[in-house]
Structure 1
Amino acid sequence: MEKQRLYEKVRHGTPRFPMACFTTRPEQPSFQIQLHWHNSMEIMQMEQGTAEVTIGAQTFQAHAGDLFFINPQQLHRILAEDAALVYHTFIFPLHALAFQTGDNAQAYLEPLIQNTMHFPVQPAEEDQAWIADLLRRILTAAEQKAAGYELMIKALLLQLIAELLRRKRFLAVPQSPSKKSQQLKQMLEYIQQHSESDLTIPTMAETFHLSEKYFSRYFRTATGQNFTAYLNTVRIEKARVLLRETDETVLEIALNCGYGSISYFNRVFRQQIGMSPLQYRTSAR
């Protein structure tokens, strides 16, 4: 399942059970999930290989066995140059764990649902074994889909939260998000919404009332990529979806994704994906 968007609008699971567990094995040694955020809770569990994981302002060198909690609305990304990379993702909206009645059990969940309390980005070392065991049971239930598996997954997630509460692992969230974090989200969402347009550093700087020099420096520092590289990543991800899900020609897709030159589109696509657009369409179907 691909999540390479800034604000992720992909629906996980089903309307009646909006939770998903899946395993990622990259198609190419060079792999990235670009900077994005969503309103669901996400847990990442490394099985093998290495990756660079950025969550908020923190960057980690992730290895097999590492666990990460990605709270709702936290900007995050994954970069890897490892063909052996395998990791598991558990994603769910916290409100899906809520109880119908406002009893004491629900009172424990409300700070998480209202985003005034956060999971720690990385669990304490002494917590990793029991958390890994719970996640293994969740993944098994999701894969087997035996009768009542939805109830099992929900119960295990509640058990995870209850145990973290007992151990006092949750963190209070500052009342107001940083101005820079909010501005970065606005920039990235703007790029996502207008990626088919003629976006340039001057137009972005003007839109966000910044000098071109400051915008370029700020964008590289905040995302780890220069503006053109990030824009190409967004455009190529959209192109991949169109190649898989439509019968549009490569030329039509290139134009729809903001490329005025099909030769440039082909070159960028091959650099990022390791094959031509036509080869990708054939392999993806």
Structure 2
Amino acid sequence: MEQLHAEDRRQLAYAHFREWSPSIHYAKYQSLPPGKLPRRRLYDYEILYVSQGEAATTIGETRYEWKAGQLIYLPAGLFHQNEVVSQPNAQFLGIHFDYFDELEVGSDEDMVVNEAHPLAEKFCREATNETFPPLSEQIIYTPSLLCVQLMEQLVEEFTTRPPGYELACKALMLNILSQLQRSRSTLHQRAADTVHGQRLVSLMKQMESSLAEAWSNKRLADLLLMNEDHAAKLFKQVAGQPPGEFLRSIRHREARRLLRETDLSVEEVGERTGCPDIHYFSRQFRKQEGLSPSMYRKLSRVL
């Protein structure tokens, strides 16, 4: 990790969980074309999740590559340069935050260091605890489906700003941080500990790329060459969810993305995510979100 100037060095703040009080400075979806972004460093912390495509980040002499389903954790004061490497673009979910509600942000410029006039007192501190080491010890994370859903909820709260959104964002961010700590044992690391782990990971990727197909427990068991009960048990060990719950989660996540980022009809979104009956799709979506697909799309495009 690249060394910082002494006066700008990031400080670790040892604090009990009850003292953590994160504030959100930015939470949005972005679509960026291929190419390198300017080299920079931040006063606050950033989580940048790739929902579609591939990206890379150069820190010092090291180039980190990350793809859809992964995120990069960028601490305050760290020189870095992000790059979109996929064609025709990449889709991101970005969150800027601090741990102790210590940075006043009026515009995006307040988060980025002006290298001609860096302000040492503005660099935010990173929380650590006797239970959790600092997240900055790791650069690339593979968040759980729950963590991704929490990040999506945070973006919605921050962009639509209903009454009490600041409190909701704070609570969501605390949950996201705890989920990232747990994800240090990633899906692939857990899979490596099981005999059929790699086959299960491959199967889950196949499910994500073919959401419209029928994925019954029997089909999964047949593909894994084992009985249904044993297949379901191993699946849950690796994915952290039973097969049916995992499938519902990734279908719903994709439905949300398609409603936000495309002009496909609600019926087409349902078909692409394994639910061609528009009425059933709408009922299930409303059950998860509390509003119809059409209203979700409308609200997601308010800002």
Q: TM-score, normalised by structure 1?
A: 0.46
